[in-house]
């Protein structure tokens, strides 16, 4: 008796086989990268889905086959064949998701899997309740088993090859592999069917004329449903996983940056940033239990001379050795920091009197009685130490450090290798500072400030898109002073708000002039922390824009990390208002302060400016290069632009370009120059008329004050 095939159902069985193969490939790729805890669950679920899939394919294949007589199936044997399918799939997935797969694994696996599939097929056939039983053509039967083993080998090899590339680009490869595998599975099935012989006059026990069409569609639909759900789960889980990995990578960059920002690379001691933080903590702690804190500032005597004679490398070694010795003598509760050069600062809390602090100073000095051996030379050095006590010598960290500093200078002046406890007489204002202060108070009125402008250049187009305004003080006696020489003083005597306001207005006016002259550039203004924290800062910025009639998008504010991180919640609100106004906001000197990624993400920022200290050595020092790379990718992942400052050489420029940095600023293009010189630079550098912001609306409705 010969049978016939329903072509539609044959196609359906092939479709199911391809879907099973595709799902299996995706599963193997998914399971391979997972920790065992998850992998086990995926493997179990995956085995079920694949088992149902392969079995359905076989079952549909059998339903596609019809004899002149009606067929019926024994439910128990049918279910048993399904179980064989699931177990075989679990085994196959187990092999395909092993970390390392050898040829031996593959051959053994293919052998067992092939037998499993054959077993499933023939037990499925055995479920047909035909009398007398089905007989098989031995050669074709053998061929079907060989095909099953061969197909399994190809399948497993493809699994193991493709699973490492979970890339979407591989969709095509994966689909092609799935089609090959699907055909192999179907081939095995129909060879097996061809081997079957039904004796003439056979009949089925208890056969009713069930509509095999609908049953096939039902089983096929169920199998495709299971496979679809599996695919959705795989996709969803992969997506979640990628997000978790991304977040972890960001956290890692953040913690590396934070360590670098808070520690001295030479000695690994905490640096000034961390010192200020710890000192504030120690003071808060002492305040609660009405205790005391001692701040000891120490500086090595004659270090400059030693450094000059030993060379840089020797000087570094000496500092490292000093740090080691100091750390060995101090108590666990003391905090030792290196704040720069040869200056170390020690915070000792859990101290009850000045006598205790003096004892600490003595033990520090005793560290230096033995000479240091550096590069086979014996070096004798000693510290000068200044001590300031909380609360008697200062109520906050700044004041304590300043007074301890004054005491240290005093100790040095009286001969060094010594310590001194702060006394108010040590801090008498020097005449020089007094004069500077008076000069600064007059400078605004007598128009002694000027702004210089430094170009910010687009790394891709090479064009100058913005200018940073940098203040200079034309001092009547001392000539041109740089900001470092007077901005800190201006902050201390509360002149910075007035100076900052002048800078803002002047810069806006200049930007407007350039725009009217047909050379629009965005103007960047530095804003000190005090200025940013003044109550009506949004109003101050708005007023400057209005009085210059400048569009907000042509103004950029540069804020340091510490300015925005101090009271981050409050900053977020102000930044949001500024950003709503339309001005751009960037973080200056990025990488040198504390910053919490959490907030960076939430602040409406436009740009991070990598501090020039990282750029300086990025070509020679792999660690700095790594940090620059990390900052750029961090910024881009937060959808921020990145600018590098302090770019002095072509090599640095090339390196930054290859890292995908967006802009740069530095002497390699130009230092800060007068407004006239800048206008000339624009004319030669950006020859054609060019509006870097042309994509934004040109229609500008002037803002109303308030």
Closer to ligand C2E at the Cβ: 88 or 528? 528
Which of 551, 558, 561, 662 forms a contact with Mg ion (CB under 5 A)? 558
Strand-pairing partners, residue 467, are: 455, 523
CB 518 within 8 A of CB 466: no
Distance CA 701, CA 461 (A): 30
Which part of the chain contacts Mg ion (CB under 5 A), choosing from 363-371, 431-439, 631-639, 641-649?
A: 641-649
| Structure token digits, residue 296 | 């000891």
Distance CA 260, CA 674 (A): 36
Q: Least distance in Å: CB of 453 to ligand C2E?
A: 10
26 touches ligand C2E (CB under 6 A): no
Q: Least distance in Å: CB of 293 to ligand C2E?
A: 30
- From the CB of residue 534, how many other CB atoms can be counted at a distance below 10 Å? 16
379 touches ligand C2E (CB under 6 A): no
- Chosen from ligand C2E, Mg ion, none, partner binding at 701 (C-beta under 5 to 8 Å by type): none
Q: Least distance in Å: CB of 407 to ligand C2E?
A: 29
Which of 589, 595, 656, 665 forms a contact with Mg ion (CB under 5 A)? 589
- Return the residues of window 523-552 that contact ligand C2E according to CB under 6 A: 526-528
Closer to ligand C2E at the Cβ: 263 or 612? 612
Task: At 337, give phi and psi (nearest 5°).
Answer: -130, 155
Non-local (6+) Cβ contacts of 488 within 8 A are none
Determine if residue 3 is left, alpha or beta; phi over 0 gives left, psi from -120 to 50 gives alpha, anything else beta. beta
> Nearest 5 degrees, angle CA 379-CA 384-CA 385?
135
Closer to ligand C2E at the Cβ: 510 or 528? 528
Which of 187, 270, 386, 666 forms a contact with ligand C2E (CB under 6 A)? 666
Which of 74, 350, 399, 648 forms a contact with ligand C2E (CB under 6 A)? 648
Closer to Mg ion at the Cβ: 506 or 645? 645
Q: Least distance in Å: CB of 354 to ligand C2E?
A: 38
588 touches Mg ion (CB under 5 A): yes
Distance CA 193, CA 195 (A): 5
CB 197 within 8 A of CB 133: no
Closer to Mg ion at the Cβ: 134 or 450? 450
Q: Least distance in Å: CB of 569 to ligand C2E?
A: 23
Closer to Mg ion at the Cβ: 526 or 663? 526
Q: Least distance in Å: CB of 341 to ligand C2E?
A: 18
- Chosen from Mg ion, ligand C2E, none, partner binding at 13 (C-beta under 5 to 8 Å by type): none
Q: Least distance in Å: CB of 356 to ligand C2E?
A: 39
- As a residue count, the chain comes to 706
Closer to ligand C2E at the Cβ: 229 or 482? 482
| Structure token digits, residue 319 | 């500092």
Per-residue binding letters, 482-501, with ligand C2E (x by CB under 6 A):
xxx--x------------x-
With CB under 6 A as the rule, give the number of residues binding ligand C2E: 25
Q: Least distance in Å: CB of 460 to ligand C2E?
A: 20
Q: Is 430 exposed, middle or buried (0-12, 13-18, 19+ CB in 10 A)?
A: exposed
Distance CA 433, CA 368 (A): 34
Residue with tokens 């053994």: 108
Closer to ligand C2E at the Cβ: 334 or 645? 645
Per-residue binding letters, 240-259, with Mg ion (x by CB under 5 A):
--------------------
509 touches ligand C2E (CB under 6 A): no
Give the distance, in angstroms, between the CA of residue 230 and the centroid of all CA atoms in the same chain.
31
Distance CA 220, CA 211 (A): 14
Q: Least distance in Å: CB of 535 to ligand C2E?
A: 18
Distance CA 509, CA 507 (A): 5
Closer to Mg ion at the Cβ: 334 or 589? 589
Q: What is the DSSP string of 277-340?
A: HHHHHHHHHHHHTT-EEEEEEEEETTHHHHHHHHHHHHHHHHHHHHHHHHHHHS-TT-EEEEEE
Non-local (6+) Cβ contacts of 390 within 8 A are 282, 283, 286, 292, 293, 294, 295, 400
Which part of the chain contacts ligand C2E (CB under 6 A), choosing from 148-156, 428-436, 478-486, 577-585?
A: 478-486
| Structure token digits, residue 197 | 């012989």
Which part of the chain contacts Mg ion (CB under 5 A), choosing from 116-124, 137-145, 570-578, 587-595?
A: 587-595
Q: Least distance in Å: CB of 389 to Mg ion?
A: 36
Which part of the chain contacts Mg ion (CB under 5 A), choosing from 261-269, 393-401, 568-576, 588-596?
A: 588-596
Which of 414, 667, 674, 696 forms a contact with ligand C2E (CB under 6 A)? 667
Q: Is residue 621 reached through a cis peptide bond, with omega within 30 degrees of 0 on the bond before it?
A: no
Which of 556, 589, 624, 662 forms a contact with ligand C2E (CB under 6 A)? 589
How does strand 372-374 pair with strand 377-379? antiparallel
- Chosen from Mg ion, ligand C2E, none, partner binding at 470 (C-beta under 5 to 8 Å by type): ligand C2E
Which part of the chain contacts Mg ion (CB under 5 A), choosing from 112-120, 168-176, 449-457, 643-651?
A: 643-651
Distance CA 282, CA 123 (A): 78
Q: Least distance in Å: CB of 475 to ligand C2E?
A: 15
Distance CA 108, CA 636 (A): 48
- Chosen from Mg ion, ligand C2E, none, partner binding at 506 (C-beta under 5 to 8 Å by type): none
Which of 526, 592, 595, 670 forms a contact with Mg ion (CB under 5 A)? 526
334 touches Mg ion (CB under 5 A): no
Q: Least distance in Å: CB of 400 to ligand C2E?
A: 25
Task: At 348, give phi and psi (nearest 5°).
Answer: -115, 110
- Chosen from ligand C2E, Mg ion, none, partner binding at 476 (C-beta under 5 to 8 Å by type): none
Q: Least distance in Å: CB of 587 to ligand C2E?
A: 11
Q: Considering only CA atoms, give the Rg of the chain.
A: 39
470 touches ligand C2E (CB under 6 A): yes
Q: Is residue 553 reached through a cis peptide bond, with omega within 30 degrees of 0 on the bond before it?
A: no
List the one residue out of 267, 302, 266 whose CA is nearest residue 379: 302
642 touches ligand C2E (CB under 6 A): no
Task: At 181, give phi and psi (nearest 5°).
Answer: -65, -40
List the one residue out of 524, 638, 639, 537 whose CA is nearest residue 578: 537
Distance CA 349, CA 675 (A): 52
The number of CA neighbours under 13 Å toward the Cβ of 273 is 18
Q: Which residues bind Mg ion (CB under 5 A)?
A: 526, 558, 588-589, 645
Site residues for ligand C2E per CB under 6 A: 454, 470-471, 482-484, 487, 500, 503, 526-528, 558, 588-589, 612, 645-648, 665-667, 671-672
């Amino acid at each position: 008796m010969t049978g016939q095939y329903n072509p539609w159902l044959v196609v359906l069985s092939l479709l199911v086989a391809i879907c099973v193969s595709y799902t299996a490939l995706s599963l193997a790729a998914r399971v391979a990268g997972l920790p065992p805890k998850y992998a086990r669950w995926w493997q179990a679920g995956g085995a079920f889905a694949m088992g149902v899939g392969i079995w359905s394919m076989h079952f549909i294949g059998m339903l596609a086959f019809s004899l002149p007589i009606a067929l019926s199936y024994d439910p128990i044997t049918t279910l048993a064949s399904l179980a064989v399918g699931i177990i075989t799939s679990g085994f196959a997935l187990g092999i395909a998701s092993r970390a390392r797969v050898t040829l031996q694994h593959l051959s053994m696996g293919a052998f067992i899997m092939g037998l499993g599939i054959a077993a499933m097929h023939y037990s499925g056939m055995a479920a047909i309740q035909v009398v007398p039983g089905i007989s098989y053509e031995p050669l074709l039967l053998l061929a079907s088993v060989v095909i099953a083993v061969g197909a399994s080998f190809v399948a497993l090899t493809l699994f193991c090859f493709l699973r490492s590339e979970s890339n979407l680009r591989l969709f095509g490869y994966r689909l092609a592999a799935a089609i090959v595998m699907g055909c192999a599975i179907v081939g095995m099935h129909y060879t097996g069917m061809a081997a079957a012989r039904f004796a003439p006059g056979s009949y089925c026990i208890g056969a009713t004329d069930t509509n095999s069409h609908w049953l096939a569609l039902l089983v096929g639909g169920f199998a495709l449903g299971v496979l679809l759900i599996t695919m959705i789960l795989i996709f969803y889980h992969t997506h979640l996983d990628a997000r978790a990995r991304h977040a972890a990578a960001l956290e890692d960059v953040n913690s590396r940056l934070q360590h670098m920002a808070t520690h001295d690379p030479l000695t690994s001691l905490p640096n000034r940033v961390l010192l200020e933080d710890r000192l504030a903590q120690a003071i808060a702690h002492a305040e609660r239990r009405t205790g005391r804190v001692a701040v000891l500032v120490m500086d090595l005597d004659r270090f400059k001379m030693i450094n000059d004679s030993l060379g840089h490398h020797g000087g570094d070694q000496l500092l490292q050795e000093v740090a080691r010795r100091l750390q060995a003598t101090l108590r666990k509760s003391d905090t030792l920091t290196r704040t720069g050069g040869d200056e170390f600062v020690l915070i000792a809390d859990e101290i009850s009197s000045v006598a205790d602090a003096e004892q600490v100073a003595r033990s520090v000095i005793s560290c230096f009685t033995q000479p240091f051996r550096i590069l086979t030379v014996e070096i004798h050095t000693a510290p000068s130490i200044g001590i300031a006590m909380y609360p008697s010598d200062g109520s906050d960290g700044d004041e304590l450090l300043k007074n301890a500093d004054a005491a240290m200078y005093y100790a040095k002046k009286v001969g060094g290798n010594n310590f001194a406890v702060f006394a108010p007489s040590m801090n008498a204002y020097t005449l020089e500072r007094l004069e500077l202060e008076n000069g600064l108070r007059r400078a605004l009125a007598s128009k002694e400030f000027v702004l210089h402008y430094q170009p910010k250049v687009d790394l891709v187009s090479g064009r100058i898109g913005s200018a940073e305004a940098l203040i200079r003080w034309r001092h009547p006696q001392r000539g041109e002073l740089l900001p470092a020489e007077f901005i800190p003083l201006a902050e201390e005597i509360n002149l910075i708000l007035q100076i900052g306001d002048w800078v803002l207005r002047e810069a806006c006016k200049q930007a407007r002039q350039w725009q009217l002259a047909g050379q629009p550039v965005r103007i960047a203004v530095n804003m000190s922390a005090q200025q940013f924290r003044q109550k009506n800062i949004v109003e101050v910025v708005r007023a400057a824009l209005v009085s210059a009639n400048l569009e907000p998008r042509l103004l950029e504010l540069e804020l340091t990390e510490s300015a925005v991180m101090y009271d981050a919640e409050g900053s977020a609100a102000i930044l949001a208002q500024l950003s709503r106004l339309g001005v751009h906001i960037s973080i200056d000197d990025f990488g040198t302060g504390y910053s919490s990624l959490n907030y960076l993400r939430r602040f409406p920022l436009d740009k991070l400016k990598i501090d020039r200290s990282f750029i300086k050595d990025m070509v020679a020092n792999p660690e700095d290069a790594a940090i620059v790379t990390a900052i750029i990718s961090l910024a881009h992942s937060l959808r921020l632009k990145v600018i590098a400052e302090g770019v002095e050489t072509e090599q640095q420029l090339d390196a930054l370009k290859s890292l995908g940095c967006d802009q740069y600023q530095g002497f390699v293009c130009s230092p800060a120059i007068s407004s006239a010189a800048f206008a000339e630079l624009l004319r030669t550098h950006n020859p054609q008329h060019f509006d870097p912001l042309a994509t934004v609306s040109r229609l500008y409705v002037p803002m109303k004050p308030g």
